[in-house]
Amino acid sequence: MTYDDALSVVALVRMPLEHILSMTPCEIALIVDKRLEVEASLQRTIISAGWLAAVLERQKRIPPLDKVIRVRRKQAVGGREELERLKEELLGG
């Protein structure tokens, strides 16, 4: 990797140059891919928000929020025992 390549990666992933230069090409590729994925997701979110704002602006009466935005609701954790089991599972011990 040339110095100019490293600088372009630094600009993309916003990491210190010393950290980039110490990474393997595979690690750099993974970080760049993930950063591009995050950027694309952010762009889709911005476009969706703009589209939704334009649609709502044309409405005479704004519909209830739960009809506009459909969110999957997570089921509540089932008590203290369930929390302890999840804690054991996540901490591995």
Q: What is the pLDDT of residues 12-28, one digit of tens each?
A: 788 888 887 888 888 88
Q: Dihedral of the CA atoms 49, 50, 51, 55 (nearest 10)?
A: 100
- Give the pLDDT score at 61: 84
Higher-pLDDT residue of 42 and 11 is 42
More confident position, 4 or 38: 38
pLDDT at 44: 92
State pLDDT tens for residues 70-81.
766 665 556 777
Closest CA to 62 of 50, 49, 52: 52
Q: Read off the pLDDT band of 42 (50, 70, 90).
A: very high
